[in-house]
Amino acid sequence: MLSSSLPRLEQESPAYICPYDQACSYLEAAAKELQLDEGILEVLSHPRKVVTVSIPVKRDNGQVQVLAGHRVQHCDILGPYKGGTRYHPAVTLREVSALAMLMTWKCALLGIPYGGAKGGIAIDPKLYSVGELERITRRYTSELIKDIGPAVDIPAPDMGTSAREMAWMMDTYSVNVGHAVPGVVTGKPISIGGSRGREMATGRGVMFIVREALTDKGQSLVGARIAIQGFGNVGSAAALLLHEAGAKVIAVSTGSGGIFCEDGLDIPALKAYAAENRKSIVGFGQATPISNADLLTLPCDVLIPAALENQITEDNANQIQAKIIAEAANGPVTLVANQALEARGVMVLPDILANAGGVVVSYLEWVQGLSYVFWDEERVNKELEQLMVQAYRQVMQQSLHRQIPLRLAAYTLGVGRVAQALGDRGLYP
Ligand code: NAD
């Protein structure tokens, strides 16, 4: 297995599905399909740089805690590294490494001149005060100061982080180098060079991809029944935009449970409710409570997992009733489950395509920042739509042309473009 080169630092139970092993399996499958040179495959299977730093933080009660912060840079053949920063208790080095690799293929698939990276700290941000989170973010940034930068590696928000953390990162980096450097992060507030449309971008991208897939299946978005796991940045934006486009969002969930309404939930009201209730959706209106497990197996047209990895596994794949699964989260469907779903004819829109809207608008934010010209939201959304629809069409064509499933089609496009660039650049020295 290619991934054996990465140290296994985590406790691994027999049920543990290693995201890095899965990422390598997808890479190997794409390499086989493309008949890739073995040397190129060997290079692409290893992250270029793996950094783990200690983050000592003084808690509000005076105690000092030392956290581990990771940043993995997978491949910068096409341009600077790019990738989110995740704050979640389940963060591990192998997970961050897998997500960094995914970012490489995602950027290449979308035609964006970036390489893949990812960062993360294993904390539950809900258990830390705003002041503590600021101290953690600033120290993490400071420890990574030599490894990030607008031409080197550009962090963005991911699970558990938002524009607020990006502003702290941008400020810490800028203070350390002695001048303002907005381009060191994307997904930052508009007041310091963020892009209009960035906050909703991943959810908007999901909406475009779902719309295209339904159209290809001869169905309209209007009236389509949709279930969404996760009501954070991505899930809530996708829910709102799908609702506005006329779809019926019949169920949503968060880590503390979900809700269901046969006639479709009032998503704007639900968003307002969640904002007032510390992001909880439980107890909203007349909706019926539903578990996360039951949400996944609801009869619906489209299922959108927008929370964590490994939610659809061999245990529940055969109970999934949706016709289309759009992977808004990274890696929500395991490799084995993916095969079972494909065998049943369920259309699985892979993460490197379905959730690419965020990195697309991050790229547009970076372009605006570098040119000191800022666009209105309409233009940003139009550029996003064009890139997402183009990538969707290319994946469909590749799938048809090679007679391969959508995920493999997306990987062959992403991996193939990086491999081509690596071949053209050659191996140094
Ligand atoms: P977020 O922290 O804003 O929201 C995560 C949501 O998942 C929350 O509603 C949370 O309650 C829910 N959740 C957590 N644990 C859960 C569980 N066990 N069961 C059900 N729900 C659970 O995170 P986000 O930024 O929306 O990211 C969600 C996913 O999308 C992640 O996989 C992330 O990597 C991916 N993603 C995010 C972006 C982005 O721009 N933010 C871009 C691409 C991909």
Residue 3 is predicted with a pLDDT of 47
CA distance 233 to 134: 19
Residue 228 is predicted with a pLDDT of 98
CA distance 358 to 383: 12
Longest alpha-carbon distance in the chain: 66
State the pairing for strand pair 225-229/302-305: parallel
Retrieve residue 272's tokens.
């307002």
Is the CB of 368 within 6 Å of ligand 1? no
Residues 6+ apart with CB under 8 A from 179: none
CA distance 391 to 264: 30
DSSP percent split of the chain into helix, strand, coil, nearest 5: 45, 15, 35
- 294, pLDDT greater than 90: yes
CA distance 288 to 165: 34
Question: Using an 8 Å Cβ cutoff, are 271 and 236 in contact?
Answer: yes
Residue 280 is predicted with a pLDDT of 87
Is the CB of 233 within 6 Å of ligand 1? yes
Please give the average per-residue pLDDT across 195-204, as a whole number: 97
Residue percentage of the chain with pLDDT more than 90: 93
Please give the average per-residue pLDDT across 190-200, as a whole number: 97
Residue with the smallest CA separation from ligand 1 atom 39 is: 158
pLDDT digits (tens, 9 = 90+) for 80-121: 999 999 999 999 999 999 999 999 999 999 999 999 999 999
Residue 316 Rama label (left phi>0; alpha psi -120 to 50; beta): alpha
β-pair partners for 57: 65
Per DSSP, 312 falls in state B
Please give the average per-residue pLDDT across 122-139, as a whole number: 98
Q: Which atom of ligand 1 is nearest to the CA of 88?
A: 2
Angle between helices 233-244 and 201-216 (to 10 degrees): 50
Burial environment of residue 20 by CB neighbours within 10 A (0 to 12, 13 to 18, 19 or more): buried
- 7, pLDDT greater than 80: no
pLDDT digits (tens, 9 = 90+) for 296-314: 999 999 999 999 999 999 9
Residue with the smallest CA separation from ligand 1 atom 31 is: 329
Q: Which of 92, 109, 233 is the best mutation target for the ligand 1 pocket, counting ligand atoms within 8 Å of the beta carbon and taking the most?
A: 233
CA distance 118 to 73: 7
Residue 9 is predicted with a pLDDT of 46
* Cα-only R_g, the chain: 20
Residue 14 is predicted with a pLDDT of 53
Retrieve residue 312's tokens.
């659809």
CA distance 261 to 166: 36
pLDDT digits (tens, 9 = 90+) for 141-151: 999 999 999 99
Residue with the smallest CA separation from ligand 1 atom 22 is: 255
CA distance 45 to 394: 24
CA distance 125 to 128: 5
CA distance 219 to 217: 6
Residue 1 is predicted with a pLDDT of 38
Q: What confidence tier does 6 reach under pLDDT thresholds 50, 70, 90?
A: low
- 419, pLDDT greater than 80: yes
Is residue 146 annotated as a catalytic residue, yes or no? no
Residue with the smallest CA separation from ligand 1 atom 8 is: 232
Question: Using an 8 Å Cβ cutoff, are 54 and 144 in contact?
Answer: no
Q: What confidence tier does 278 reach under pLDDT thresholds 50, 70, 90?
A: confident
* Nearest by Cα to 166 from 143, 196, 197, 133: 133
CA distance 301 to 325: 9
Q: Determine the distance separating the centroid of ligand 1 and the alpha carbon of 234, expressed in angstroms.
A: 6
CA distance 114 to 153: 9
β-pair partners for 116: 75, 82
Average pLDDT value for the chain: 95
CA distance 272 to 152: 38
- 130, pLDDT greater than 70: yes
